[in-house]
C-alpha cells in the first residue's frame, strides 16, 4: 500500500497515538459534558488564553497550511497581507463591535442582524452561509486534504480522495467525533504551533544544507526581491496595493467581526476584558504565520522549483523534508483538522437548510422528520462539494487565491449592512433589503464577468470595495423609502459614544497592562514594524 511505503513505523505510531488520544479525551469529556450540560449552556467561562488559541487554531487548519504555502511559493509573501490585517481588524473589533454584541445580549450574529433589520436579513445571511459552506469552506477543505493525501495515494484521482474524505467526515459527524475535536481545540492549536515551527525550522535547514541561519540567508539573497515584498504595484495580478487598502480590510472585517464561527469564540468569554485580551492574543499569533508558514513556503521555491501545481508544495515539505515522527504528527493533525472542519461545515449547512428553509415550508414536520431531512441534506451537500472541488483549479491557480476571491465577490453586502446598522441610526429594514438585493446582483455580475467574459478588468480585491459601495448606496437610498426605526429599539444594537466615555473613565482605574487600548496600540506597533520590515 502507498501509505506503508510513505510513512515510517515511527510516523504510523505517532499518527495512531494522536488519533487514539483525541478519541479517549473525547469519550471522557462526553461523559462530563452530559453531567454539565446545564452549566455549559450558561456559557461565558472561556479565559483569554483559551480564546486566543481557539481563534488561532480555527485559522491554521490544513486548508490554511496548503493555501498559504502554495500562495507564497507561487506569488511571494504578499499573501501575508491577509494575515497581518487580522491584527488591525481585531483592534477595531475590540473597540467598537464586541461591546455592542455584549450590550445587545445576543448569542449569534444572525440573531443580531434580525433584531436590527428583521427576518429577511437573517434569511439572507443563512442562505449565503449555505452557499459559502458548500462551495468555499467544504470544497476548500476537500481540496486541501486531497493535495496532501494524494502523495500517500498517488494513483487515486482527485475526486476519489475527496470522496473518501467526505465520507470519513460524515462518519465522524455521526459518531460524535466532532464533539471530541471541539473539546480539544486548544490542544489542536498548540499542536499546530509545534507543526508550523517544525515546518519553518526544517525547511530553512534544508535550504541551508543543515544550517538554519544559512537557509534564511540563502532565501533572502537568492529569491527574486519581489517575492519577498508585501506592498506590490497596482498592476500586480495577485495583491495590488489598491486591493491591500480596499478589499483586504473589507473581507477581514467580515471574517473577524461578522463570521459566526469566529465571533462565537469571543462571545464565550467570561468577561468583556477576557474577550478583548483573547482577541488581541489571536491577532498577535496571526503575525507568526509569516515566519512559520509563509516564508518557508517561499523558501521552498529553492528546494522544489517549477512545481506544476503550487498547492502541492506543502505536501513536498512534509514528506521530503520533515523527519520521521514529525511527519506522522503533521499528517494526523491535518487529518483531524480536515475531518473536524468538514464535519462542522456539513452539520451547520444541513442545519441551516433544514431549520431556516425546509421547516418554514413545512412547519408541521415532526422532530423525527426533521432529523431524517437533515441527514438527507447532509449527504446531498457532501455530494455537491465533492463534485465542485475539482473545479477550483479552473477559477484560480492557488487554493488561497480562490478562497479570497469568492469572499471578495459575495460578502461585501453583508459588511455594508452590518457597518451601517452599527453606526447609522436612519437605516432600516427596507434599506437593508435593498442593499442586500442590489449588492448581490452586482456581486453576481462581476463574479460571472471575472471568470467568463472579462468585460470589466477589475481585480477581485478592488471589486470587493466597489460592491460594498453599491450595496451601501442602495441601503441608504432604500432606507429613505420607509420611516426611521424606533430609536429605543435599535439603541442596544448600535455603538454609542456614551459607551466610549464610560469605558475611558473605567480604564483609568485598571493597571496599564490590562488596558486593552494600550495592548491594541502595542499590537498595531508590532504589526507596523513587521510590515515595514518587508514592505
Label residues 400-425 b or e (16+ Cβ within 10 Å = b): bbbbbbbbbbbbbbbbbbbbbbbeee
Angle at the Cα of 330 (from 327 to 336), degrees rounded to 5?
140
Q: What is the domain range of residue 352?
A: 2-398
- Do the domain assignments include residue 418? no
Considering the domain boundaries, does residue 27 fall inside one?
yes
SS3 36: coil
Q: What is the CATH number of the domain that holds 30?
A: 1.20.1730.10
Number of domains in the chain: 1
Return the H-helix or E-strand segment holding 187.
helix 185-207
Digits of tens for pLDDT over the chain (535 positions)?
Answer: 333 345 778 887 887 787 677 666 655 655 554 443 333 323 456 789 888 887 887 788 888 899 999 999 999 999 999 999 999 999 999 999 999 988 887 767 888 899 999 999 988 888 888 888 888 888 888 888 888 777 777 777 888 888 888 887 776 665 554 444 445 555 776 788 888 999 999 999 999 999 999 999 999 999 999 999 999 999 998 899 999 999 999 999 999 998 877 887 788 788 889 999 999 999 999 999 999 999 999 999 999 998 988 988 999 999 899 998 888 888 888 887 787 778 777 877 887 788 778 888 888 888 788 878 888 888 898 999 999 998 887 777 788 888 899 999 999 999 999 999 999 999 999 999 999 999 999 999 999 998 888 888 899 999 999 999 999 999 999 999 999 999 999 998 998 888 888 889 888 888 999 999 999 999 999 999 999 999 8
Cα 446 from Cα 443, distance rounded (Å): 5
> Is the CB of residue 86 less than 8 Å from the CB of residue 326?
no
> For the chain, what percentages of helix, strand and coil (3-state, to nearest 5) are there?
80, 0, 20
The verdict on residue 8 lying in a domain is yes
23 within some domain: yes
Helix, strand, or coil here: 269?
A: strand
Within a domain: 28: yes
Closest alpha carbon to 251 in 428, 425, 412 = 412
Structural domain includes residue 506:
no
Q: What is the pTM of this model?
A: 0.85
CA distance 425 to 459: 33
pLDDT at residue 185, rounded to an integer: 57
- Residue 445 within any structural domain of the chain: no
Quick check: is 442 in a domain? no
Cβ-contact 156, 400 below 8 angstroms:
no
Distances (CA, A) of 347 to 90, 142, 173, 240, 334: 28, 15, 8, 37, 20
Amino acid at each position: 500500500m502507498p501509505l506503508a511505503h510513505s510513512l515510517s513505523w515511527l510516523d504510523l505510531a505517532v499518527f495512531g497515538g494522536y488519533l487514539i488520544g483525541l478519541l479517549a479525551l473525547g469519550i471522557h469529556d462526553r461523559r462530563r459534558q452530559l453531567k454539565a450540560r446545564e452549566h455549559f449552556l450558561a456559557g461565558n467561562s472561556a479565559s483569554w488564553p483559551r480564546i486566543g488559541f481557539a481563534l488561532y487554531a480555527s485559522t491554521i487548519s490544513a486548508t490554511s497550511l496548503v493555501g498559504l504555502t502554495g500562495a507564497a511559493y507561487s506569488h511571494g509573501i504578499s499573501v501575508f497581507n491577509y494575515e497581518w490585517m487580522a491584527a488591525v481588524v481585531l483592534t477595531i473589533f475590540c473597540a467598537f463591535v464586541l461591546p455592542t454584541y455584549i450590550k445587545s445580549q445576543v448569542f449569534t450574529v444572525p440573531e443580531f442582524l434580525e433584531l436590527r433589520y428583521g427576518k429577511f436579513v437573517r434569511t439572507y445571511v443563512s442562505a449565503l452561509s449555505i452557499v459559502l459552506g458548500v462551495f468555499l469552506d467544504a470544497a476548500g477543505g476537500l481540496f486541501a486534504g486531497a493535495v496532501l493525501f494524494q502523495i500517500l495515494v498517488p494513483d487515486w484521482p482527485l475526486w476519489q480522495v475527496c470522496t473518501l474524505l467526505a465520507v470519513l467526515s460524515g462518519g465522524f459527524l455521526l459518531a460524535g467525533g466532532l464533539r471530541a475535536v471541539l473539546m480539544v481545540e486548544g490542544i489542536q492549536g498548540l499542536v499546530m504551533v509545534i507543526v508550523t515551527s517544525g515546518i519553518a525550522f526544517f525547511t530553512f535547514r534544508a535550504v541551508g544544507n543543515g544550517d538554519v541561519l544559512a537557509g534564511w540567508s540563502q532565501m533572502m539573497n537568492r529569491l527574486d526581491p519581489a517575492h519577498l515584498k508585501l506592498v506590490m504595484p497596482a498592476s500586480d495580478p495577485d495583491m495590488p496595493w489598491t486591493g491591500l487598502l480596499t478589499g483586504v480590510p473589507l473581507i477581514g472585517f467580515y471574517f473577524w467581526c461578522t463570521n459566526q464561527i469566529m465571533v462565537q469564540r469571543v462571545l464565550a468569554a467570561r468577561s468583556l476584558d477576557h474577550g478583548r485580551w483573547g482577541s488581541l492574543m489571536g491577532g498577535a499569533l496571526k503575525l507568526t504565520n509569516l515566519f512559520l508558514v509563509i516564508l518557508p513556503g517561499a523558501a521552498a521555491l529553492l528546494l522544489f522549483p517549477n512545481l506544476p501545481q503550487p498547492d502541492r508544495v506543502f505536501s513536498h515539505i512534509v514528506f521530503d523534508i520533515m523527519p520521521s515522527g514529525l511527519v506522522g504528527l503533521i499528517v494526523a493533525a491535518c487529518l483531524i483538522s480536515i475531518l473536524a472542519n468538514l464535519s462542522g461545515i456539513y452539520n451547520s449547512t444541513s442545519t441551516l437548510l433544514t431549520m431556516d428553509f425546509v421547516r418554514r415550508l413545512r412547519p408541521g414536520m415532526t422532530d423525527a422528520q426533521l432529523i431524517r431531512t437533515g441527514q438527507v441534506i447532509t449527504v446531498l451537500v457532501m455530494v455537491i462539494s465533492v463534485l465542485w472541488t475539482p473545479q477550483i483549479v479552473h477559477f484560480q491557480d492557488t487554493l488561497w487565491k480562490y478562497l479570497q476571491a469568492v469572499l471578495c465577490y459575495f460578502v461585501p453586502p453583508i459588511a455594508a449592512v452590518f457597518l451601517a446598522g452599527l453606526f447609522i441610526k436612519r437605516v432600516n429594514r427596507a434599506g437593508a433589503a435593498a442593499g442586500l438585493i442590489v449588492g448581490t446582483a452586482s456581486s453576481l455580475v462581476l463574479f460571472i464577468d471575472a471568470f467568463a467574459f472579462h468585460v470589466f478588468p477589475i481585480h477581485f480585491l478592488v471589486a470587493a470595495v466597489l460592491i460594498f459601495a453599491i450595496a451601501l448606496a442602495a441601503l441608504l437610498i432604500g432606507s429613505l423609502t420607509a420611516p426611521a426605526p424606533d430609536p429605543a429599539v435599535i439603541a442596544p444594537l448600535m455603538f454609542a459614544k456614551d459607551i466610549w466615555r464610560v469605558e475611558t473613565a473605567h480604564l483609568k482605574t485598571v493597571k496599564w497592562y490590562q488596558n486593552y487600548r494600550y495592548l491594541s496600540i502595542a499590537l498595531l506597533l508590532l504589526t507596523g514594524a513587521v510590515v515595514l520590515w518587508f514592505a
